[in-house]
Amino acid sequence: VVGTAVAFMTLGMILTLLRIWARRLQAKSFMIGDVLVPATLVLLWALCIVAIYVVQICGFGHHTHHIITHYGDTLHTNNVLVYYVLPCLHYVSVALPRLTILNLYLSFLRQNWARHCCYALGVLVIVGTLINLSVTVFQCWPIGSIWGPGRPPLWCMNLQIHLQWGNFANIFIDTVILALPVPMVLRLSIPTREKVALLFTLSIASIGFAAGIIRFAIIIRQPTPCTDWPAHDHLWQLIDVTMCSIVETGMVLMAVCLITLRPLLK
């Protein structure tokens, strides 16, 4: 987890700076992505710093009984950071690059139906993010019971089901985003070489899509956490999901930066 966090903090910073440089070379008008990409980098760093903190200070990565024995009263700190803070940071940080890509599409798509699709997908991304945040906050009742010592929750929802379907919805949205510009690019009156180059540039966004699929595959293998809280060894089972959240966020940020670096290559 720590190695993954440090690697993507570094790569994210480098590629974000390269994107800023490329945008300055293009000398084009302001785009929403010029704000959303640095904001994604900030969220990625926050996600990674929290992940490093729970590993180094709170013992995340060990079995739950080991944390209780050797890390004092950090179990509830682990719970609030792993179950609340990390997911919220992840949901927002993967939504912003998707909105950046849709904003990029709007800069060159001229067909009304394609532009309407971009706006509709943007609404789906925003609504989906708000739903994920709401479910994360209200996953157990009372809300503060999961981090309040000696206050077990009255009930907790099946969080794994939400993670599965939420991630599946993101994969569907990513598929539509990747496929949307292809018909328009193929119809452009430009040389075939330029069409291939443009399609290749847009296809770079698929690396974030691949990371989402990997995260989905890991989630469906996990035992259901939280339903028998706190007896479940949940902090051990969520290691892979946490690491994949960092990877997905980092790769989506990398993808949205890479598709704008053609001026630097030239």
Lowest mean pLDDT among 74-78, 134-138, 151-155: 151-155
Rounded to an integer, what distance in angstroms lies between the CA atom of residue 117 and that of residue 94? 19
Q: Which two tokens stand for residue 83?
A: 């179950």
pTM of model > 0.75: yes
Count of domains forming the chain: 1
Quick check: 141 pLDDT over 80? no
Q: Per-residue confidence at 228, pLDDT binned at 50, 70, 90?
A: very low
E strands, the chain, where? 140-141, 155-156
Quick check: 13 pLDDT over 70? yes
Q: Per-residue confidence at 229, pLDDT binned at 50, 70, 90?
A: very low
Residue 109 · residue 115 · CB < 8 Å: yes
Rounded to an integer, what distance in angstroms lies between the CA atom of residue 157 and that of residue 136? 10
Using one digit for the tens of pLDDT, what is the confidence trace for 232-245? 677 787 888 889 88
Using one digit for the tens of pLDDT, what is the confidence trace for 28-52? 777 888 899 999 999 999 999 999 9
Residue 132 · residue 87 · CB < 8 Å: yes
pLDDT at 226: 44
How is 42-87 classified by DSSP, letter by letter? HHHHHHHHHHHHHHHTT-BTB-HHHHHHHSTT-HHHHHHIIIIIHH
Q: How many CB atoms lie within 10 A of CB 128?
A: 17
Bond into 142 cis (ω within 30): yes
% of residues, the chain, pLDDT over 90: 27
Q: Characterize 190-224 residue by residue with b for buried, 16 or more Cβ atoms within 10 angstroms of its Cβ, and e for exposed.
A: eeeeeeeebeeebebbeebbebbeebbebbeebee
Its domain, for residue 86, covers 1-264
pLDDT at 143: 72
Rounded to an integer, what distance in angstroms lies between the CA atom of residue 21 and that of residue 157? 46
Average pLDDT over every residue of 57-73: 81
Q: Per-residue confidence at 231, pLDDT binned at 50, 70, 90?
A: very low
- CA count, 13 A, side-chain hemisphere, 130: 6
Helix (H, G, I), strand (E, B) or coil at 140: strand
pLDDT at 151: 62
Quick check: 156 pLDDT over 90? no
Q: Which two tokens stand for residue 116?
A: 């309407």
Rounded to an integer, what distance in angstroms lies between the CA atom of residue 80 and that of residue 234? 13
Q: Per-residue confidence at 225, pLDDT binned at 50, 70, 90?
A: very low
Residue 207 · residue 254 · CB < 8 Å: yes
Rounded to an integer, what distance in angstroms lies between the CA atom of residue 247 and that of residue 263? 27
CATH no. for residue 248? 1.20.1070
